[in-house]
Amino acid sequence: MCEKSEAAILKEKLFISRKNPLINEAQSTIDEAFEFSKGYKEFLDKAKTEREAVNVALALAEENGFVPFENGKEYKAGDKVYFNNRGKAVAFAVIGKEKAEKGVNITAAHIDSPRLDLKPNPLYEEMDLALFKTHYYGGIKKYQWTAVPMALHGVFVKKNGSVINVSIGEKDDEPKFMVNDLLPHLAQEQSKRTLSDGIRGEELNVLVGSLPFKDDKESNLVKLNILNILFEKYGVTEHDFLSAELCCVPASKAFDIGFDRSMIGAYGQDDKVCAYPALMAVFDILVPSKTAIAVLADKEEIGSDGNTGLNSDFLKYVISDIAKMQGCDETIAIRNSRCLSADVNAATDPTFPEVMEKNNASYINRGVCVTKYTGARGKSSTSDANAEYVAEIRAMLDGAGIVWQTGELGKVDAGGGGTVAMYIANLGIEVLDLGVPVLSMHAPVEVTSKFDVYMCYKAMYEFCK
Does residue 112 belong to the site contacting Mn ion (CB under 5 A)? no
Shortest distance (Å) from residue 334 CB to Mn ion = 24
d(CA 85, CA 68): 11
CB of 112 to Mn ion, least distance (A): 9
433 touches Mn ion by CB under 5 A: no
Q: Of the listed pieces 1-9, 120-128, 285-293, 335-343, which binds Mn ion according to CB under 5 A?
A: 335-343
Of 91-99, 308-316, 338-346, 399-407, which segment contacts Mn ion by CB under 5 A? Answer: 338-346
For the bound state, the minimum distance from the C-beta of residue 302 to Mn ion, rounded and expressed in Å, comes to 10
Q: Shortest Cβ distance from residue 270 to Mn ion (Å)?
A: 4
Q: How many CA atoms lie less than 13 Å away from 278 in the CB half-sphere?
A: 33
Kindly state the smallest distance separating residue 432's Cβ from Mn ion, in Å: 15
Nearest 10 degrees: Cα torsion 170, 172, 174, 178: 60
Torsion of CA 144, 148, 151, 156, to 10 degrees: 50
Report 35-94 residues binding Mn ion (CB under 5 A). Answer: none
Interface segment toward Mn ion; rule CB under 5 A; list 129-137, 245-253, 264-272, 391-399: 264-272
343 counts as binding Mn ion under rule CB under 5 A: yes
Return the number of other C-beta atoms located less than 10 Å from residue 389's C-beta. Answer: 15
Distance of closest approach, residue 54 Cβ to Mn ion, in angstroms:
17
Q: 121 vs 150, 161, 176, 326, 417, CA distance in Å?
A: 19, 20, 20, 48, 31
Q: How far is CA 208 from the centre of its chain?
A: 28
Which residues, including other chains, have CB under 8 Å from residue 394's CB and lie 6 or more apart? 370
Q: Give the CB-nearest residue to Mn ion.
A: 271
> Of the listed pieces 48-56, 199-207, 265-273, 318-326, which binds Mn ion according to CB under 5 A?
265-273
* Beta carbon nearer to Mn ion, 52 or 270: 270
Q: Which of residues 267-296 bind Mn ion (CB under 5 A)?
A: 270-271
Beta bridge partners of 292: 94, 105
Q: Which residues lie across from 136 on neighbouring strands?
A: 116
Taking the least distance from each CB to Mn ion, the nearer of 300 and 330 is 300
Site stretch for Mn ion (CB under 5 A), options 9-17, 237-245, 341-349, 374-382: 341-349
The residue ranges of DSSP E strands in 61-157, in sequence order, are: 67-68, 80-85, 89-94, 105-110, 115-126, 129-137, 150-157
229: burial class by Cβ within 10 Å (0-12, 13-18, 19+)? middle
How many residues in the shown chain lie near Mn ion by CB under 5 A? Answer: 3
Nearer to Mn ion, 122 or 268 (CB): 268
Report, in angstroms and rounded to the nearest whole number, the Rg of the chain calculated over CA atoms.
24
Binding segment for Mn ion (CB under 5 A), chosen from 47-55, 77-85, 337-345, 407-415, is 337-345
Q: What's the first-to-final CA gap in the chain, in angstroms?
A: 44
Q: How far is the CB of 274 from Mn ion (least distance, A)?
A: 8
Q: How far is the CB of 249 from Mn ion (least distance, A)?
A: 14
Interface positions with Mn ion (CB under 5 A): 270-271, 343
